A and B are shown apart, each in its own frame.
Chain A
Amino acid sequence: MTWEKDRQLVASLARQVVHYAAPDELPFFKATCDAFFAAPKLARRGHRDEPLGFGLETAFTVISTLALTVTVDVFKQLTEEHIRRMIDKTAPTFRLAALSKLFHRPPEQSADPLPHLHQDQITKIRELAYRRARQLQASEEQATLIADGIAKALASQFTMED
C-alpha cells in the first residue's frame, strides 16, 4: 500500500516532467511506467551489438525512462529531506546513533505527503536531477529539460491526480 502510493507519486512527477520536456512521448508513458516499476534495473540502453539488432548507437534517446529514473532518485532525496526535518523537530535526546544510522541508510518508502519546498531546496534538487540525468548519458539538452521539468513540477506542488 505504502509503496503503491510512492509509486504513484513518482509516476505523477515523472509524467509532469515528460509532459513538459517531451509531450509526444505521453502515449507510451503508461506502458513505460509499468515496465519501469516492474524492472527498474533493466531501464537502460539496450546492447547495441546484439545479433540481428540494428546495431547503431544513435544519439537520440527518449526522456520517459530517464525521467523515471531521475525522479526516483529525486524522490529518495525528498524523502531523505523529510526524514531529516522530522528528526530535527524531535527532541535532541532522541537523536541517537541508531537514528543517525537510519538517517544515513537509504530511506524506505514513505507514505507521508511531500513537504513544501523552498526555492533553494528546489534549486538543489534541480542540480541533483541534472547531474543524475547526465550520469545516465542524457544529452545536455535532455538533462536540462528533465531537471527543469522536475523543478517546475515541485514548485507547482504537483498532485497525485496529475
Chain B
Amino acid sequence: MSAAGEATSPRPNPFAIPSATSVRFALLAIATSTAIFIWGGATLSRRIAPLTTDPAYDACERQYWDKVIHRDGNADPSALDTYLGNLPPSNCGPHPSISLWPNFAVLAFFWLIVLVLYWWMPAWRLRRRRLRPLAFDENPALSSYLTELRLTAGVTEEVTFVANYLDPGVSGLAFGRLGRRYVALSVGMLALFDRDRSAFRAIVLHELAHLRNRDVDVAFITIAVSRTYLVVIVLPIMVASALDLLAGGIHGYILAFAVTLIWYLVFLAVVVPLIRNSLLRSRELHADARAALWDKASDDLSRLFTQQRRRQGGWLSRLLAVHPFPSDRITALTDNRNLLAIGFGEALTMGLTIGLGLDLRDVLGVENISFIYIFWAILLALGMGFSVWRDAINWYVTHGPTKVNMAGVGLGMGLAAGIISPMEVNWFEDPGRPIVSYVVGVILPWCVVLVVGSWLCVRWMSTATRSWLPVAATTKRPVLVVMISLIASAALFITFFNYALPLAQQAAVIQTRTLRGWPQEIVFLTIVVTRAATEPRVLVIIILLGFAIYPLVGVGLTRRLRTTSPASWLTINPVPAGWRAREQLTPRFAVVKAGIVTALLALVLIFTCYLVGGLAAPTTLAAAVGGHLTHALVIVPEVIAAIIATARARDFRVSYGIISAFIAGVVITIGERIAMQLALCAMAMTHNTSCPSDMNPFLRALDVMFYDFFWGLELAFIAALLTAAVTHRRLQDNSVVTSSVAAPFSPSR
C-alpha cells in the first residue's frame, strides 16, 4: 500500500465489535472447565467413591439397554419415530452411587488455584525480577512525561511504573491484577528516554494500550488457566488413570474410558497452550493497532519493528511464539484487516469447545438434550457471530472479500473432534457388529455432515451479516442490529444441533432396533434424509423460510437507508471525501418469478391432464389424484423453481431458491385444488350435472397437498444448495472487487 493510499484509505476499526480474543478467552475457560468438570470429576469419583452395585438398578438398566439396542430379539419397527426423536427415558432413576460433588469440587479447586495465581502473580513478578518503583527524583521530567502518556492513552486506572534495573535491553511489560496495574520499564528503556524519545514513547504507549484494551486480566488469567490445567489437572489425572488401568486391567469400558480421558486431556494439553499463544499474539497486534491511533506512534513502532534483530522463523515458530513476527506487526500498523479476519484455528477451537461441552449432558443427567443444545448454541452464536461481524466490517470498509469458508470447515472439524471419542464409539458397540464398520458407516459420514452443516451455518451468518451491516452502519442503534443478528445465529445453531448432533446415536439405535442387517451407511443416510420428517412440518417450513428471508430483509432496508460514508464507529481514521460505500446488494426479487412461472406452467399441465384424463376416462382421474402423480406435480415444480431461481440469482442464491420454491408450492397447492374443481366441473357439465359443492374432500386433499408441499420445500432446499454449489459463481461483491471499482476510495473519483 502506498503512502498516499495509507493516508486516504479508510481503515476498519478492530475495536468496533468485541474481538475474537475475548471469545477465545471465554472458550478456553469453558473448554478447560468442561473437561475438568467431566473428566476430573469422573476420575476423582472413581478414586474416592468407587461405584457401588445396586442389583435392582443394574437389572433395570440392563433391561433398558437390551430393549433399546434390541438384544432381546423383539423388533418393534413402529418405534422408528420414537428413536428418530430421542432415546426413551430409562425410568431407572439416578445411579445410587453417582454424585456430582466431586465434579464441582474439582472445578472449584481448579478455579481457586487460577484465581490465587492471578492475584499473586504480580507480587511474585515484582519480587522475582526485583522490580522497583521508578526513581523519579533523579529525573522529574520522566514522571510528568509518563503521566502525560497515560492520559494520552486514555488509561483512567492508576498505573504504577516500576523499573527493572537489571535488564540492559529495551523492554516494557504491562502486568498486574484488578486494582493494581503496573508497567515495568527496563533500564535500557529509561536510557532511551533521553536518547530516543519517540521510541520510548511508542513502547510505553504500546504497554499502556494493553491496559487500555484490558488485556492484562485476560492474558494473565489465560496463563494461569493454562499452567494450572497442565500441572494440577492433566498430570495427576493421567497418573491416576494409569494406576486404574494397571489395577483393573485393560478391557472394554475401562479401556475406552482411559483412551477417551487421555484423548481429551492430551489433546487439550496441546491445544490450550496454542490457544493461549494465539490469544497473546492477537493481543499484541491489538495493542499495536491501539497505539498506532495516537499521534505518530505508528511511525515510531514501525521503525522499531523494522530495526529489530530477531530472525523470522517458520510456521512452527510462529505457532509457538507469544509475540507476532515483526513483519506481521508492521503490517498490522497500517492494515487492520488481519485483526478482523476469522481464522481456521479460531473456529476449530470454538467447535472443539462446544463438542467437549456437549458431554455435560451425560454428567449432569439432563434428560432434555435441547437445553444443552440451546446453551451451547447461544455461546457459539456469540463467538462466531462477533467474528463474522468483524469480517463483514472489513468487507464493508475496505471492499475486501469475505473469508469465512475455512472458518466454517474448522468449526465443523472442531465439533467432530470434540464430540467423537472412544467412549462414544464404545457406547454403541454392538457385540454382533465390528466396531470398524460402525466408525466407517456412521461416525465418518456423521463427521462429514457436521463439517458441511457448520460450513453452511457460517456461510449463512456471513451472508446475513453482510446484508445487515449497511443497516447497522446507518442506524442510530447498531447494537440492536447486532443483537438481532446474534439471536438469528443462535436460532440457526439450535436448529443445526437438534438436527445433526443426534444423527449417529439415532443411526446406531435404529440399526440395532429395527434395521438389523442393513448396511450401516444406508441406515445413516436414511436417518439423514428422514430426520426432518419427524419434526412438525409447519415449524420446518417457518424455519426454512425465516432463514431465507432474514438476509433479504436486510438488503431491502439497506436500499432505503443508502449512505455514502460509513458510520464513524466502523473506521479508525476519518473517511476521506469521495469514499464510496460498498456497492449495495440489490434485492432481485425478479428471480422469484421463477417460482410463479414454474407453478403456473405446472398448473396448466395439471389442469390439462385432469381435463383430458377426466374427459377421456373419469376413473383415471381418481386414480391419478389418489396416486403418485399429485405428489410429483407438487414436489417437482418446487424443486425446479428452486433450481431456476438459485441459478439466476447472483447473491443470496439459496435464499431466493427457497423463497421461489415456497411461492411455487403455495401456488400449486391451492391451484391444483382449483384445477381439480374446474376439471370436475367440466366433467359434470359434459354429463349435464352440477359442479360438486362439497368442500370437505377439497380440504382433506389440501392437507395431503400440504404434506407434499413440505417435502417439496425440503427437497427444494437441497436442490438449491446443490445448484449453488454446481453453478458456482462469484458473488456479486467479489466481481465488484475485480472490476474497475475495486478500491474503496480512489482520488480520481
Does any Cβ of B come within 8 Å of A20's Cβ? no
- Taking CB atoms and an 8 Å cut-off, the chain B residues in 269-299 that contact chain A are 280, 283-284, 287
Given contacts A45-B169, A56-B326, contact A28 B138 (CB under 8 A): yes
B321 engages A49 (CB within 8 Å): yes
**In the complex, which of the residues B135, B165, B174 contacts A52, with contact meaning CB atoms closer than 8 Å?**
B174
A46 engages B138 (CB within 8 Å): no
B171 engages A54 (CB within 8 Å): yes
- Taking CB atoms and an 8 Å cut-off, the chain A residues in 45-93 that contact chain B are 45-46, 48-66
A64 engages B168 (CB within 8 Å): yes
Of B306-314, B365-373, B393-401, B429-437, the one contacting chain A is: B306-314
Which residues from chain B contact A61 at a C-beta distance below 8 Å? Answer: 168-170, 188
Q: Across the two chains, which residue of chain A brings its CB closest to B129? A: A42
A27 engages B139 (CB within 8 Å): yes
B323 engages A55 (CB within 8 Å): yes
Given contacts A57-B309, A58-B309, contact A52 B175 (CB under 8 A): yes
Does any Cβ of B come within 8 Å of A117's Cβ? no
B171 engages A60 (CB within 8 Å): no
Residues of B within 8 A of A (CB-CB), count: 52
Does any Cβ of B come within 8 Å of A43's Cβ? yes
Does any Cβ of A come within 8 Å of B194's Cβ? yes
Q: How far is the CA of A36 from the CA of B172 in the complex (A)?
A: 19
Which residues from chain A contact B172 at a C-beta distance below 8 Å? Answer: 53-54
User: Smallest distance from the beta carbon of B137 to chain A beta carbons, Å?
Assistant: 9
Q: How far is the CA of A46 from the CA of B184 in the complex (A)?
A: 11
Which residues from chain A contact B108 at a C-beta distance below 8 Å? Answer: none
User: Smallest distance from the beta carbon of B313 to chain A beta carbons, Å?
Assistant: 11
A65 engages B321 (CB within 8 Å): no
Which residues from chain B contact A56 at a C-beta distance below 8 Å? Answer: 170-171, 304-305, 308, 310, 323, 326
A60 engages B188 (CB within 8 Å): yes
Which residues from chain A contact B167 at a C-beta distance below 8 Å? Answer: 44-46, 65
A53 engages B173 (CB within 8 Å): yes
**In the complex, which of the residues A52, A54, A57, A62 contacts B168, with contact meaning CB atoms closer than 8 Å?**
A62
User: Smallest distance from the beta carbon of A72 to chain B beta carbons, Å?
Assistant: 14
Given contacts A28-B165, A62-B187, contact A52 B280 (CB under 8 A): yes
Q: How far is the CA of A36 from the CA of B207 in the complex (A)?
A: 25
Given contacts A31-B163, A36-B165, A66-B168, contact A51 B190 (CB under 8 A): no
Q: Across the two chains, which residue of chain A brings its CB closest to B206? A: A54
A46 engages B164 (CB within 8 Å): yes
Which residues from chain A contact B283 at a C-beta distance below 8 Å? Answer: 52
B173 engages A52 (CB within 8 Å): yes
Does any Cβ of A come within 8 Å of B466's Cβ? no
B308 engages A32 (CB within 8 Å): no
Does any Cβ of B come within 8 Å of A97's Cβ? no
B304 engages A44 (CB within 8 Å): no
- Taking CB atoms and an 8 Å cut-off, the chain B residues in 300-343 that contact chain A are 304-305, 307-310, 321-324, 326
Does any Cβ of B come within 8 Å of A96's Cβ? no
User: Smallest distance from the beta carbon of B345 to chain A beta carbons, Å?
Assistant: 19
A46 engages B322 (CB within 8 Å): no
Q: Across the two chains, which residue of chain B brings its CB closest to A67? A: B168
- Taking CB atoms and an 8 Å cut-off, the chain B residues in 135-182 that contact chain A are 135, 138-139, 163-175
Of B215-223, B451-459, B474-482, B738-746, the one contacting chain A is: B215-223
**In the complex, which of the residues B166, B284, B304 contacts A36, with contact meaning CB atoms closer than 8 Å?**
B166
B163 engages A62 (CB within 8 Å): no
Pairs across A and B, CB under 8 Å, 22 listed: A27-B139, A28-B138, A28-B139, A30-B138, A31-B132, A31-B163, A34-B165, A35-B130, A35-B166, A42-B129, A49-B322, A51-B223, A53-B173, A55-B322, A57-B308, A57-B309, A58-B169, A58-B188, A60-B192, A60-B196, A65-B165, A65-B187
10 closest A-B pairs by CB: A55-B323, A35-B165, A65-B168, A27-B138, A46-B167, A61-B168, A45-B169, A56-B308, A32-B165, A53-B173
In the complex, besides A27-B139, A46-B167, A51-B220, 16 extra interface pairs with C-beta distance below 8 angstroms are: A24-B191, A28-B135, A32-B187, A36-B166, A45-B167, A46-B164, A46-B173, A48-B310, A51-B223, A52-B207, A53-B173, A53-B323, A54-B203, A57-B309, A58-B308, A60-B169
